[in-house]
Chains A and B, each alone.
Chain A
Amino acid sequence: EPEVTQTPSHQVTQMGQEVILRCVPISNHLYFYWYRQILGQKVEFLVSFYNNEISEKSEIFDDQFSVERPDGSNFTLKIRSTKLEDSAMYFCASSVDRGSGANVLTFGAGSRLTVL
């Protein structure tokens, strides 16, 4: 069964450092997303991406965050200067064109980011 793959599974970084989280979405999916889950809290929407541009973003997704689909397969989330509060599990997801149905997301296993 096709799956969304994320790397790294765990990254530890120092505050102020740049971090890039990588995702390979399902090949025939057209819509890509990043979510995060701070330990013990809800899964929060960060950004959605379609046709090589951001289609929607949350208030969490400020100027420190950026996304890119550099080569047609990878989908990356960059955090320019990490803060302690960026420590979370980051989930990548993708979905097909929903047509008239529900927009079902397929998630990766997540990348745990620890900022020290």
Chain B
Amino acid sequence: DQQVKQNSPSLSVQEGRISILNCDYTNSMFDYFLWYKKYPAEGPTFLISISSIKDKNEDGRFTVFLNKSAKHLSLHIVPSQPGDSAVYFCAASVGFKTIFGAGTRLFVKA
């Protein structure tokens, strides 16, 4: 089941710079896309979402962009902070089923 793919297992960014995490999906029926953040020994926590009818949603330092024609979304974190270091999961939902990608581990260096 590869409906949601995160092709970069890890990303390293300098503090203060932009972090860009990418995600691709295959199922056109998804109606919402979400990003979750996960710290070690904790469950994933919701970060930001976007409806399939939008192309951008912004919440503070976090912006999610959706390109439906390319079936691609990205999460931008500006500026990146050391506390942002975590695993970021892209997720897509239809109804009450949410499918997660494999995650991208973000390292923000001070």
- List residues of chain A with CB under 8 Å of any chain B CB: 4, 31, 33, 35, 41-45, 48, 50, 55-56, 91, 93, 95, 98, 101-110
Contact = CB atoms under 8 A, between A and B. Distances in A.
Interface hub of A33, A50, A55, A103 (most chain B Cβ within 10 A): A103
Contacts of A98: 96
Interface residues of B, number: 22
Contacts, number: 62
Contacts of B43: 4, 91, 93, 107-110
Contacts of B32: 101-103
A28 B38 CA distance: 24
Given A31-B96, A56-B97, 17 more contacts: A33-B98, A35-B100, A42-B89, A42-B101, A42-B102, A43-B103, A93-B43, A102-B32, A102-B51, A102-B93, A103-B32, A103-B93, A104-B34, A105-B36, A105-B44, A110-B42, A110-B43
A82 to B, nearest CB: 22
Among all A-B residue pairs, the 4 with the closest Cβ atoms: A107-B43, A102-B49, A42-B102, A102-B32
A109 B41 contact: yes
A56 B51 CA distance: 22
A32 to B, nearest CB: 10
Interface of B: 32, 34, 36, 41-46, 49, 51, 89, 93, 95-103
Contacts of B101: 42
Interface hub of A35, A43, A56, A106 (most chain B Cβ within 10 A): A43
Chain A at the B interface: mostly helix, strand, loop or mixed?
strand
B38 to A, nearest CB: 8
B103 A103 contact: no
A43 B93 contact: no
Contacts of A93: 43
Contacts of A109: 41-43
A45 B44 contact: no
A97 to B, nearest CB: 10
Given A42-B101, A42-B102, A42-B103, A103 B96 contact: yes
